[in-house]
Amino acid sequence: MTGMFDGKRILITGGTGSLGQALTRRLMTGVEGLPESVTVFSRDEAKQHYMRLDFMHRDAVTDEVIFENSRQRLRFKIGDVRDYEGLARAVKGSDIVFCAAALKQVPSCEYFPWEATRTNIEGAANLVRAISELDLPVETVVGISTDKACKPVNVMGMTKAIQERVFIDGNIHCAATRFICARYGNVLASRGSVVPLFLDQIAAGGPVTITTTDMTRFLLTLDDAVDTIYAAVRSGRAGDTYIPRCRSAKMTDLAAQLIGARHIETIVTGIRPGEKIHEILVSEEEATRTVDGSDGYFAVRPMLPELAGPVEQPALIGDYSSASNLMSSTELADFLKRKLPDAVAANQLA
């Protein structure tokens, strides 16, 4: 049976990031069809160098893709989504584009809001512009978003919220291309996320830093994030934003689970610039146009009437915030054992 990526030429902007690498690794397995090529587009040559070594010279690819095939399929291009001409050259010849390029560190975006705007908004606009003006036959574009884009209070979330709208509007200007988004919460093992920080602090003997004792976050793994993206590609309609069903946890509970029986101090440092206490994945306004998508995901239909279509049966979401979907201590312990088996095996978790 033919998979949805069989023979496709795939471009991943920001492909050297945590999500980009996880997505590349999954694509290279050929589980949903083996692409003709996977091109990693980013501005960091050092990360590209080490990623190339990882995938091509350290047996990082799976048995289904031998070394010679990986060398032919996996490609790297230096460039920046802010540069229209460079991005247009990279997109040319692509069937599917995953837009993972982003400035995503919340405090950094607060101090450099224009830089966040250029990457997160202008980069998306450049992609839509290239497909439209050059009449490129791109089949699907997936914008990788975040829960911070829902009712945003920080620059990172604001720019990502507008990025979602830029991609949704792209469906109007590029009728032959399907633009969709995938929105999800805190990824457990991604660079800059809370779990690696806590584990590093624990390994150093503490203290473990909590910004506020009330803080909650949705939790999922990189594989869960890739699953969401795959579901969007498989079943999303033009303008859809796909959202996983996931649980949340208090950061104090997460820290306690990671510390276990160790005598390690926890200190409260105060909220960082732009930080929210609770996140939300579907707003009250969006809930009226949210439906049950494929494989247990939610799909937020676009507000543009040219794309929306009728929403006969909205999903019964209720309050989809991290404050109201909390795991108990037992549930969180089970979750971490399932989602972080390597950490458990290494006795990093009590």
pLDDT score at 283? 94
Catalytic residues: 148
State how far the Cα of 223 lies from the Cα of 25, in Å rounded to an integer. 10
At position 322, the amino acid (one-letter code) is S
Cα 96-47-50 angle, rounded to 5 deg: 105
Helix (H) or strand (E) holding 180: strand 178-184
Domain coordinates of the chain in residue numbers? 79-343
Among 33, 31, 51, 32, residue whose Cα is nearest residue 41? 51
Q: What is the dihedral of CA 191, 143, 233, 88, to 10 degrees?
A: -110
Residue with tokens 């594989």: 223
Q: Where are the alpha helices (DSSP H) in the chain?
A: 18-29, 45-57, 67-73, 84-91, 106-111, 113-117, 123-133, 155-173, 194-203, 222-235, 251-259, 284-287, 305-308, 329-339, 341-345
Among 188, 185, 186, 147, residue whose Cα is nearest residue 336? 188
pLDDT score at 57? 63
Contact between 300 and 243 (Cβ < 8 Å)? yes
State how far the Cα of 55 lies from the Cα of 24, in Å rounded to an integer. 9
First to last CA, the chain: 44
- Model confidence over 163-206: pLDDT tens digits? 999 999 999 999 999 999 999 998 886 666 788 888 888 989 98
Look up residue 173 and give its two tokens.
């200007």
Among 1, 85, 86, 3, residue whose Cα is nearest residue 39? 86
Helix (H) or strand (E) holding 141: strand 140-146
Burial category of 184 from C-beta neighbours within 10 Å (exposed 0-12, middle 13-18, buried 19 and up): buried
State how far the Cα of 297 lies from the Cα of 295, in Å rounded to an integer. 6
State how far the Cα of 80 lies from the Cα of 85, in Å rounded to an integer. 10
Which residues share a beta bridge with 220? 187
pTM, 2 dp: 0.91
Contact between 229 and 182 (Cβ < 8 Å)? yes
| Cα 37 versus chain centre, distance | 21
Q: Which residues of the chain have pLDDT under 70?
A: 1, 57-71, 189-192, 342-350
φ/ψ (deg, to 5) at 290: -105, 135
Q: Any residues with CB less than 8 A from the CB of 330 and at least 6 apart, and which?
A: none
CATH entry, 79-343, from 3.50.50.60, 3.30.70.1560, 3.40.640.10, 3.40.50.720: 3.40.50.720
